[in-house]
Structure formats: structure tokens, C-alpha cells
Structure 1
Amino acid sequence: MDKPKKQRSRRAIVLLVTFPILVGLITLGTVIFHSLEEWTWIQSFYFTVVTISTVGYGDVVPTNDTTRIVVSFFILIGVAVGAGIMSLYGSSSVKKRVTKRSDESDLPTNQ
């Protein structure tokens, strides 16, 4: 398999592995916060996405100690998973650029 196909294949695998993990984490958070706080599904989803992305607008906040503890652990897990996913995407992107530049430098020049 040549390099470009191998790189595309690797990026596809990264996407196929990490996307379901991210969707699962968002789904899990939405269900947990919906049941603990009795928020609507939309509020729970919104809170989960804002929490995982570490934006934290503060417009939806936990109101009891149990949820605060769960949110603390959810933040740690969400940030770790998010950082891991971003690292995989970043390294894949960098490898793509390095390979492209390497291939371009191997091309003969017309002088």
C-alpha cells in the first residue's frame, strides 16, 4: 500500500474509533445529568457538551452535591478523552503534512 493510501486509512481508523467514543461520552453525560437534575434532554445535552469542551458558560449548573461530584469526575474523564482525541487528530494531520512535504521534495525540479 502506498503512503497516501496508508495515511488515509489511518485517519479513517482514527475517526472510526474516536467518534463513537465521543458520541458515547456525550450520550452518557446527557442521560446521567437528565436523571440526576431532572433537566430536559436539551438542557442535559447542552450542559454535557459545554462541560466536555471546558467552556463552562455557567447558565446551567448542578444544584445538588451528588451531581457536583459526578460533574467533577465527568470533567476529568471528558477532558482526558477530548485531549486524547485531539492529539490523535493532530498527529494524523501533522503526519499528513510531513508526508506531503517529503513527497514534494522528492520530485525532480526543472532547471
Structure 2
Amino acid sequence: MLSLKSAGASSTSRLSRLREEYLIDELDYEEYAVGSSGDGTRADRTRPVPIWLCVFLVVSYIFGGAFLFSEWENWPFLDSAYFCFITLTTIGFGDFVPAQRVKDNAEVSIALCSLYLLFGIALLAMSFNLVQEEVISSVKSVAKRLGIIKEEEDEEDD
């Protein structure tokens, strides 16, 4: 093993720089992990996604899909919106089926519909999860203010 004495002054300065960089990296990590105020609460580490943004994304996705299906399938816009909502929420009554009237490129129509539904169901699940977390956080905050739950109970859950 190489000792500091035999390596010379240049190695000593390199080692000291490495130690300094390691300490700086470690401090940056601790600051990131704990949060800006230093108390380590979850609110410091994450910023909630506004509920209106989730609703806007879902409604936009449904209306965008309704426009596409009204063009692809020659359905009225409201029927297309109904199909998108019923299908994305996995209710699926089956009264509207894509590529039923289309004889040419039915495989392409089914593939595009499948991609739309795959990403749409993932978007809906993500949005529901984000809204659920925000609602739970709000209910816990109100319960703390009313004295229903104590501060310690909430910290144990996180």
C-alpha cells in the first residue's frame, strides 16, 4: 500500500482535494435528503401537484381522444367523448367499438386505439394517485388543526 510520505506532496494535495470533494458531496446529499428547512418533514422534500392540473390533463386527454375518434371513426364528437370516458375509466359498455365500420386499415386503427388507451389509463391512474395524496394531506392537516390526530401519529405514518 502506498503511504502518504512516499507519495510526495502532490499526492497529499490530491488526497486532500478528494476528501474535500467527498465532504462537499456528502453535505449536498444531506441537504437534499433533509430538505431546505432542516426538519426532515415530507412537505420540504416534495411539492404537491395541483388538483386542477390533474383534472385539466385528464379532461384534455379525453377531449383530444374524442376529436381523434370523431375523425377516425366518423362518430359524432359527443359519442367519441363518451367512448373515451367509458373506455378510459374501464367501464366499457361495448356500445361503441373502434374499427367496426372501417374495412381498410382496421389493424392500424386498433393499434392506434390501443396506444391511446394504454397511455390514457396510465395517465388516469397517475392523476388519481396524485389527487388522492393531496386529499389525504389536506384531510390530515385539517384533522391536526381540529385536534383529532396528534403530530406524532402523523410522523409515524410517513
Could you state the TM-score of these two structures normalised by the residue count of structure 2?
0.55
Using the TM superposition, name which of 13-22 and 52-61 deviates more: 13-22
Distance in structure 2 (CA, Å) of the matches to 1:32 and 1:65? 16
Instruction: Give the deviation of 1:22 after TM superposition.
Output: 1.3
Instruction: Give the deviation of 1:69 after TM superposition.
Output: 0.9
String of CA shifts for 1:15-51, please: whole Å, max 9, x gaps.
2311221121011101111111111112111111111
One-letter identity of the residue aligned with 1:26: I
- Residue aligning to 1:42: 78
Question: Which one has a bigger Cα radius of gyration?
Answer: 2
Instruction: Give the deviation of 1:97 after TM superposition.
Output: 2.2
Q: RMSD of the TM alignment (CA)? A: 2.1
Whether the 8 Å CA contact 2:54–2:131 is kept in 1: the answer is no
String of CA shifts for 1:43-76, please: whole Å, max 9, x gaps.
1111111111111111100123222111111111
Does residue 1:62 correspond to 2:98, yes or no?
yes
Which consecutive residues of structure 2, in runs of 5 or more, have no partner in the other structure?
1-46, 100-105, 151-158
- Residue aligning to 1:32: 68
Give the share of equivalent positions with the same residue, in percent.
24
Which consecutive residues of structure 1, in runs of 5 or more, have no partner in the other structure?
1-9, 107-111
Moved over 4 A (4+): none
Count of residues in correspondence between the two structures: 97
Distance in structure 1 (CA, Å) of the matches to 2:72 and 2:111? 11
Which structure is higher in RCO with an 8 Å CA cutoff and minimum separation 6? 1
- Residue aligning to 2:134: 92
Whether the 8 Å CA contact 1:33–1:67 is kept in 2: the answer is no
Whether the 8 Å CA contact 1:52–1:82 is kept in 2: the answer is yes
Instruction: Give the deviation of 1:89 after TM superposition.
Output: 1.1
Whether the 8 Å CA contact 1:29–1:48 is kept in 2: the answer is yes
Which has the larger helix fraction?
1
